[in-house]
Structure 1
Amino acid sequence: MINQSIAFTKPWQVEVQEGTFAAPALAADEVVVKKLYTLISPGTELACLSGNESWFGMPGTPGYASVSEIVETVGDERRWNRGDIVFHYGDHSRYQVVSTRGTFLEVPAGLDLRWVPFTRMATVAFTSVRVSNIELGDAVSVTGLGLIGNMAAQLAQLQGADVIGMDLSAERRRIAEICGLFETYDSSLGEGKARVAEWTGGVGVSTHIEATGLSKVAADSLGWIARSGELILLGSPRGAHNADLTDVLNYCHLNDRGCITFKGAHEWRFPVEPDPFVKHSMVRNSRIVFDLMQRGKLKIEPLISHVLKPEEAPSAYEGLRFDKDRYHGVLFDWRQ
């Protein structure tokens, strides 16, 4: 079989490579899959492409959000069969040997296969509401309405919150509104504190979800969080930011400043597989996302900006880097 894969060969260089795929002897918990669609994770993959992520070695194949068809199993593996359609954390390649343990799930019948890889981004966003104290009727703000922030805002609304989404991009705000976000704000105008005060009658939000990964945005948001509220750090902070740390820490310490709780919302804080002693897991969250998609409660279609051939990978990453308004939810179609 001829395999095709997307490779980051050096900083800011993307290549599409071809070679012969020969699967090794499979273990009982391994299968060979043929990708149908894979989704680019813009924040993580651009960080890898920059060469600044120490865990990602170059040359290397990025990607961790896939829907695939099983094309080979071992004889004594009874659970999975050739032709099964599965969601898993696969990379940007046509064929791959993958483990059936962990987040390797059969796709429900009738679910749009283009939506399935977005489950990965949705479970990342899910962590923000899982760690929060959001309850019915709470006021919540979200900074950054890319894929993760958009879905975090949708999930916070499903949790019963009134949500205001903030972003510099008019296009991202428009997409968020199509996805059902009732209140958005142009953060390029500044004065986020004044806008939130107006929206909440001067109280502030009880929960703020920071999805940009920009440290300055997180620090600025402290001014509009209500006393005894919480700041959820959903976006992974990248890049230096010089600030007075004492002033920031006073917000989480002094009651007259806010007494704010900071919470990290990295997805790996939960176990991958269900555990009888832990309520949440990544597998459980993924299944809930499937259900929300099928029932039309989590909107995915407006998030898809491009469905491209693997050969178009260099232009896809260029678009995500330099044309963020038009490139956001980019899928590779491996079916041909």
Structure 2
Amino acid sequence: MTQQVQLRSIVFKDINQVELETKVKTFKLGPSEVLIQTLYSCISAGTEVAKLSGLQKVSYPLYVGNRAVGHVIAIGTEVDHLTVGEFVFSHIHHQSYSIGQQLVCPLPNQLEQPVAAMLGMGLVAIAGIQTAQPELGDVVIVTGGGLVGQLTAQLTVLSGATPVLIDIVDERLHVAHLCGINTTINPNRENPKAYIMELTSGRGADIILECTGVPSVSLSAIDYARRNGKFVFVGSPRGRYQTDITPFLEKVHLWKPGGNLTLLGAHEWKLPVKQNDFCKHSMEQNCKLLSRLVIEKKLRLDPLISHIYKPEEAQESYQDLIEHQNKVLGAIFDWRD
């Protein structure tokens, strides 16, 4: 099956150069593939800004984006779990039409709104929660108040634990309060370690969920942990950083206060796309769980959207992310005509 469309795509042409490319494209569907017309796509700020700025080495031109929602407009001959017209989430680029990639998860029609595109960031956050396994009564430190950190903190509350969100941007901490995160710290005004030790009667936090991807933050955040605690990388570490790593390793290894830590990675792609008998969780299962939590108003996404851009504003959108971190939190592209 083939289908010809007028395709619009956001492309990184070079470092700090963003363009909206328009061309006629003919999609040829394989038997198990689906073609999706995009409604909304979510900017994964940490990943995409790192690639645009040169912090993460990539080859240009680069087609970017991997979290979007839209309607299925064509299906291959062997597709039996989706129908034309169905509203779905998929890991697809910032473009007006795409072949569904990896996960193509059907969503309830009542989620047909911009916030649905942020379910992809929820998949990152929930992988961190499922890796860390917080329990009722745990104190959990979440470093970073971007989309992943905000969603991680909300999911921590739903697990029964107490999150403490740390970020240097007051506007992000304000949004966290709107979403039910009661305890936040701005380290520019308050000593996080002193606060956490007072909160935990000198023991330290049970779990650290590192959501910034900034190596220097990891080195400071490990000091907030209790003995036998867990340190989980939720955000992907990026950028070159030179330091003495021995104190960090001692925290993991030595039997002393704040030591003997378990160090864990929680990349979302550690999970299978489809559920199987060998893994408790899957990306499809998580996507459906997150959508249900949003519908039940247990997971709040609306306060997280700060900007909705048209694709023609792509250069402006990424410039805002780089230059106005205190103003941009959740950024969505609206692909509707």
Question: Normalization by structure 2: what TM-score?
Answer: 0.94
Residue 38 of structure 2 corresponds to residue 50 of structure 1: no
Counterpart of 1:18 in structure 2 is: 22
Task: Kindly indicate whether residue 5 of structure 2 is the aligned counterpart of residue 4 of structure 1.
Answer: no
Partner of 2:238, secondary structure, is coil
For 1:186 and 1:74, the matched residues in 2 are separated by 51
Which residue of 2 is the match for residue 175 of structure 1?
175
More displaced, 207-216 or 237-246?
A: 237-246
Corresponding residue of 2:262: 261
1:314 maps to 315
- 1:125, distance to aligned residue in structure 2 (A): 0.7
How big is the shift at 1:240? 2.4
* Contact 1:21-1:95 at 8 Å conserved across structures: no
* 1:59-108 residue CA offsets vs partner (Å, 9 max, x unmatched): 12100111111222345644433211111111111112235xx4211111
Deviations 1:221-242 (A, max 9, x none): 2222111111111111112223
Q: Which secondary structure state, in structure 2, belongs to the residue aligned with residue 195 of structure 1? A: helix
Partner of 1:291: 292
Partner of 1:193: 193
Match for residue 38 of structure 2 among 35, 40, 46:
35
Structure 1: which 5+ residue stretches go unaligned?
none
In terms of mean alpha carbon deviation, does 185-194 or 223-232 score higher?
185-194
Q: Which amino acid in the other structure matches residue 53 of structure 2?
A: S
- Higher mean C-alpha deviation, range 320-329 or range 111-120: 111-120
Shift of 1:17: 1.1
The CA distance in 2 between the partners of 1:288 and 1:81, in whole Å, is: 21
Give 1:10's aligned amino acid: D
Write out per-residue CA displacement over residues 272-320 of structure 1, whole angstroms, 9 at most, x where no aligned residue.
2111121011111111101111111111001101111100010000000
Give, in angstroms, the shift of residue 57 of structure 1. 2.8
| Partner SS, residue 308 of structure 2 | strand
Q: Which secondary structure does the structure 2 equivalent of 1:142 belong to?
A: strand
What displacement does 1:247 show? 1.5
Q: Counterparts of 1:154 and 1:182 in 2: how far apart (Å)?
A: 10
Mapped partners of 1:23, 1:223: distance in 2: 52
Counterpart secondary structure, 1:291: helix
Q: How far does residue 249 in structure 1 lie from its aligned partner after superposition?
A: 1.0
Question: 1 CA distance for matches of 2:34 and 2:244?
Answer: 52
Letter in 1 for 2:9: S
CA distance in 1, matches of 2:331, 2:159: 27
In the alignment, the residues of structure 1 paired with residue 192 and residue 115 of structure 2 have an alpha-carbon distance, to the nearest angstrom, of: 33
CA gap 1:250/1:75 in 2 versus in 1, 3 angstroms: closer
Give the whole-Å Cα distance in 2 for the aligned partners of 1:10 and 1:76.
39
State whether structure 2 residue 39 is matched by structure 1 residue 66.
no
Report how many residues are paired.
Answer: 332
The amino acid across from 1:178 in the alignment is L
Task: Tell me what 1:86 maps to.
Answer: 88
User: Within 5 Å, which residues of 2 pair with 1:92-107?
Assistant: 92-99=94-101, 102-107=102-107
Shift of the alpha carbon at 1:158?
0.7
2:242 matched to 1:242?
yes
By how many angstroms is 1:167 displaced?
0.4
Distance 1:112 1:80, change over 3 A: closer
For the 8 Å contact 1:14–1:314, the answer to whether it is kept is yes
Cα distance change on mapping 1:76 and 1:216 into 2, 3 Å: closer
**1: CA distance between counterparts of 2:76 and 2:220?**
54
In structure 2, stretches of 5+ residues that fail to align are: none
Q: 1:105-164, CA deviations, whole angstroms, 9 ceiling, x for partnerless residues?
A: 111131242121111100101111111141001111111010001111111111111111
